[in-house]
Amino acid sequence: MGKQEDFVLRALEERDVRFVRLWFTDVLGFLKSVAVAPAELEGAFAEGIGFDGSAIEGFARVYEADMLAKPDPSTFQILPWRGEGPSTARMFCDIVMPDGSPSYADPRYVLKRTLGKAAEQGFTFYTHPEIEFYLFKDTPVAGADPVPVDRSGYFDHTAQSMGADFRREAITMLESMGISVEFSHHEGGPGQQEIDLRYADALSTADNIMTFRTVIREVALSQDIWATFMPKPFTTHPGSGMHTHVSLFEGDRNAFFEAGAEYQLSKTGRQFIAGILRHANEISCVTNQWVNSYKRMMFGGEAPSYICWGHNNRSAMIRVPMYKPNKGQSTRVELRTIDAAANPYLAYAVVLAAGMKGIEEGYDLPREAEDDVWSLSERERKSLGIDPLPRSLHDAIGIAEESELLAETLGEHVFDFFLRNKRAEWEEYRGQVSAFERDRMLPVL
């Protein structure tokens, strides 16, 4: 065993940990958890904890159900919401097959593989997510409209607001789990919050996002409210995105930065953006994986509908933020498509793969969008070469099925499962008769 395993085993002793929750993520991005006693952990490090993979969404080909969860000791954390006394800890796991080979069904392995490929070219991938979510007064009830905890708007400071208390407690808890918070404020919709995590390497960020969602839900429950990362809970209010600032580093050097270049953006940076733009349609069903995701991207505002980039242009899909002098290391680009309900492992893997493709093939960056893309006419956009993003999950799946980039990145197993699952989701949705239809038609037809 290595030093990190040793550290964990020691910490269990010193912190009086009674249970360790082993966390992993299924293909759709839902967190799974197995609790083990500390005594079993040594074995878990050596061999993993066996479980029936066929019970997990998207994991096993039916006949190879035996899988092992192998904890990653570098992700060890005490869970803060369990209160005083004996504590509970968590670790993220890698999923392996009985012969010790990593499982291609494990989203964490998908991301690790993609990061590994980038590392072969000398790059490390850093991400910095801005996560939005809504707070409601009650737990959801089928058929009833949810009631937000307040009626404030963007950056509003509200006296004794539930949201502010909530953010304070959530942030304290996140920080105590070693997840640094950069920024937090009230977002545009009623009851909508935004919390930004500090930038970190993509694997840590993805782990952090999974932890973040759990923490936010736990804190909400403790205050008798409900938190949701649903991409678009209201027709009339903005949806919840997960804008992510991304950058590549070569060793200690930010590979996106080049002094004196336009927007201080290096050739590598431009090719990376070009890669994401060219493959935006293909990866859409991963960055925006739900039927509901596409309703977020219909009405303008913070969510993009068109494939373009711009300097400080908030209507563009990719925004190159204003350069701050002497901050070459912080050169980055902001991707605005990803929503808060994406599987972060898969989403970051496909974004990185698309960007790396741009670098490998030396794509040229299309011209910058200088206007508010929403205000342009269809014809104007066409003449500027600005294509729309998929308009529905159905469109996205159709494009994804033809994508070699996506298959290569996700691995055959996840690619196949994911698309089958999404198609089923679409078919189920297609058959639904909605309140909208009844409201419109019953009175008149």
Partner 1 sequence: MSRPATTKGTLLRLGFHDPDASLAALSRLDTAADPLLALLARSADPDLAVASLVRLLEVVEDPAELLEEIVDDEGTAMRLLCVLGASQALADHLVRHPEHWRELTDPLMGSTRPAAYALRADLLRAVGADPEADEPTATIPDDEAVDALRVEYRRALLRLAARDLAHDLGLDDAAAELSDLAAGTLEAALAVARQRVGPDSGLARLAVVAMGKCGGHELNYVSDVDVIFVFEPTDGGGDAEPDLGAATRVATQLASHLIRVCSDHTSEGTIWPVDAALRPEGKSGPLVRTLASHRGYYERWAKTWEFQALLKARPVAGDLALGHEYLDTVSPMVWTAAEREGFVADTQAMRRRVIDQIPPREAERQLKLGSGGLRDVEFAVQLLQLVHGRADRQIRPPATLSALAELTRGGYVGREDGEALHDAYCFLRTLEHRIQLFQLRRTHVVPADEESLRRLGRSMGLFKDPVGSLDKAWQHHRLEVRRLHEKLFYRPLLAAVAKLPGTEARLSLEAAGERLAALGYLDPKAALRHLEALTTGVSRTANIQRTLLPAMLEWFADAPDPDAGLFGFRRISESLGESPWYLKTLRDEGQVAERLARLLATSRYATSLLEREPQGVRMLGEDLVPLSAEALTEEMLASSRRQVDPEKAVRAVRAIRRRELFRIAAGDLLGLIDVADVGAGLSRLTDATLEATLGVAGRSVREQRGFEDAPTRMAVVAMGRYGGFELSYGSDADVLFVHDPEPGADPQAASSYATAVANELRRLLSLPGADPALQVDADLRPEGKQGALVRTLDAYAAYYAKWSKVWESQALLRADAVVGDLELRRRFETLIDPLRFPEEGISPDDVLEVRRIKARVDQERLPRGADPQTHLKLGRGGLADIEWTVQLLQMRYAGHVPGLRTSRTLEALDAARAAGLVEEDDAVELAHAWRTVSRIRNAVTLVRGKPGDQLPRDPREKAAVATILGYPPGASDTMVNDYLRITRHARAVVDKVFWE
CA 197, CA 92: separation in Å to the nearest integer?
19
Is there binding between residue 37 and partner 1 (CB under 8 A)?
no
Is there binding between residue 104 and partner 1 (CB under 8 A)?
yes
Is there binding between residue 326 and partner 1 (CB under 8 A)?
no
CA 284, CA 399: separation in Å to the nearest integer?
9
Is there binding between residue 360 and partner 1 (CB under 8 A)?
no
Pick the binder of partner 1 from 412, 427, 428, 437 (CB under 8 A): 412
Please, which residue, 100 or 385, has the CB nearer to partner 1?
100
Is there binding between residue 319 and partner 1 (CB under 8 A)?
no
Quote the least distance from Cβ 67 to partner 1, whole Å. 11
Q: Which residues lie below 8 Å from residue 131, measured CB to CB, with a gap of 6+?
A: 194, 195, 196, 197, 209, 212, 229, 240, 242, 340
Is there binding between residue 6 and partner 1 (CB under 8 A)?
yes
Is there binding between residue 46 and partner 1 (CB under 8 A)?
yes
Quote the least distance from Cβ 42 to partner 1, whole Å. 8
Q: How far is CA 233 from CA 229, 294, 444, in A?
A: 9, 12, 28
Is there binding between residue 315 and partner 1 (CB under 8 A)?
no
CA 67, CA 51: separation in Å to the nearest integer?
6
Tell me, what DSSP letter sits at residue 218?
Answer: H
Site for partner 1 in 50-69 (CB under 8 A): 61-64, 66
DSSP H stretches of helix in 186-296: 202-222, 267-278, 280-287, 293-296
Is there binding between residue 321 and partner 1 (CB under 8 A)?
no
CA 389, CA 321: separation in Å to the nearest integer?
22
Pick the binder of partner 1 from 148, 189, 190, 411 (CB under 8 A): 411
Is there binding between residue 407 and partner 1 (CB under 8 A)?
yes
# binding residues, partner 1 (CB under 8 A): 27
Is there binding between residue 382 and partner 1 (CB under 8 A)?
no
CA 65, CA 357: separation in Å to the nearest integer?
34
Give CA angle at 164 (159, 166), nearest 5°: 135
Chain residues binding partner 1 by CB under 8 A are 1-3, 6, 9-10, 42, 46, 61-64, 66, 97-104, 407-408, 411-413, 416
